[in-house]
Amino acid sequence: MTGSRFLDRRTPPHIATLILMAGLSALAMNIFLPSLPGMAAWFDAPYALMQLSVALYLALSAVLQILIGPISDRFGRRKVLLGAISLFLIATVGTLLATDATTFLVFRMAQAVVAAGMVLSRAVVRDMVPDAEAASMIGYVTMGMSIVPMIGPVIGGVLDETFGWQANFALLLGLGLVTLALVWADLGETATIRRVSLMDQIRTYPGLLRSRRFWGYVGCASFTSGSFFAYLGGAPYVGNAVFGLSSSEVGLLFAITAVGYAAGNFVAGRFSVRVGMNRMVLWGTLVCVTGLGALALVTLAGVHSPYVFFGFTLALGIGNGMTLPNANAGMLSIKPELAGTASGLGGAIQIGGGAALAALAGALLTEGATEMPLILLMLASAILALFSILAVIRRARRLGLPT
């Protein structure tokens, strides 16, 4: 692979471009979360309906990722990314012009096309470097990316209180324009174009779906991130309705999880090559289960505080940060020639599960509910992630493969 030169679209992209691509996807997911109660009042709609702006967004992201992967393998990463970001900008304008909740939700769902940035940042990494280095580089990309969602809800809460919820989407519009310009100027094509039809690409799915290793890594990534998506779906309600916090206070406390995610990504980037993918995933899932289990016990003991609830999510962030780069690299290693397809299919399953858990979190947190249903849902998902990676490791040992 030719060396990367910044702002030279004849070469692979600079890591800063990959971070911004993935970061825009993450920011679009969470910047407006502190605004959800206020948006419900603005549109005169139930909170459960506005919370669908998270669940429906994730669900459509899952569907789109099934197509984004094979399309990018066929037509290239660059064309798909430029098209996806352009459509995202149009959808963002629609959210700003919406006058009712239904119209807003339609354009909000259309924003999901920006998931291409997250999917293809992983595929580009796999195009550029081999397996062992891929987990490490994905770790660094997602560590840098995590700075964006770390400050996103904080900024979103302040913007909401100062200018109203629309300011969050105006910021997304501006950042989308910057990302489009940078991708156009810096991202050279990294895929080896395969002259096959989209249907031929989709026919490769059974080969991936028959792989137990693929399912193990997908299960681990899905359940680990599922804990986080359940948190995204339920924490705004817990902060506002259970603990009586303002939008800016909820946004500030959201940063705790993102700080943990950045720390976990640093560990993954620094030690994955030395420790190995499977062991790093195992350690990450153990961190999640331990932290959320402790939160459940403390809450059952009668300690109810926003600082306890949000503080323990530091472990959730660290565990996700350690697990996801390695689990994603594991998915992509099954068939390296189909990195885009594997990233899209695995991401679709991962995000689809997240959408279901986010919606379930919203359904569980009815009027008068405490934080406990959300905590138990997050813990159950983390335990399933632990079982998934243990199954991968046990199979590897049985086949005499590295663990």
Mean pLDDT comparison of 127-131, 166-170, 257-261, highest-scoring range: 166-170
Cβ atoms 45, 101 nearer than 8 A: yes
For 109-151, what is each residue's pLDDT tens digit?
A: 999 999 888 878 877 877 776 655 666 677 667 666 656 766 7
Stretch 336-345: mean pLDDT: 68
d(CA 165, CA 173): 14
* Residue 161: pLDDT over 80: yes
Q: How far apart are CA 256 and CA 69, in angstroms?
A: 32
In this prediction, residues 232-260 reach a mean pLDDT of 84
Query: What share of the chain in percent tops pLDDT 70?
Result: 88
Q: Once rounded to an integer, what is the mean pLDDT over residues 317-341?
A: 80
Q: Which of 17-21, 145-149, 327-331 has the lowest mean pLDDT?
A: 145-149
Higher pLDDT pick, 102 / 121: 102
Distance CA 130, CA 359 (A): 37
Residue 52 has what pLDDT? 82
Of the candidates 220, 231, 221, 215, the residue with the CA atom closest to the CA atom of residue 379: 231
pLDDT at site 101: 93
Instruction: Give the mean pLDDT of 187-208.
Output: 70
Among the ranges 55-59, 277-281, 330-334, which has the highest mean pLDDT value? 277-281
pLDDT band at 294, cuts 50/70/90?
very high
- Say yes or no to pLDDT of 43 above 50: yes
User: What pLDDT score does 1 carry?
Assistant: 44
Which residue ranges form the domains of the chain, and what is each CATH number?
A: 15-398 (1.20.1250.20)
Output the pLDDT for position 249. Answer: 86
Give the Cβ contact number of residue 403 at 10 Å. Answer: 14
**Confidence band for 155, pLDDT divided at 50, 70 and 90:** confident
pLDDT at residue 102, as a whole number: 92
Contact 60, 106 (CB under 8 A): no
pLDDT exceeds cutoff 50 at 86: yes
Q: Which residue has the tokens 């003991």?
A: 301
pLDDT mean over 220-236: 87
Residue 2 has pLDDT above 50, yes or no: no
* Residue 66 · residue 342 · CB < 8 Å: no
Both structure tokens of 336 = 């390296």
Q: How many residues does the chain have?
A: 403
pLDDT of 23 strictly over 70: yes
**Which range is least confidently modeled, 70-79, 121-130, 167-176, 338-347?**
338-347
Cα 119 from Cα 171, distance rounded (Å): 22
Name the token pair of 128: 């550029």
Q: Transcribe 37-81 into DSSP letters.
A: HHHHHHTT--HHHHHHHHHHHHHHHHHHHHHHHHHHHHH-HHHHH
Say whether pLDDT at 234 is over 90: no
The chain-wide mean pLDDT, for the chain, equals 84
Tell me the average pLDDT across 75-102.
Answer: 93
Asked if 135 and 268 touch (Cβ cutoff 8 Å), the reply is yes
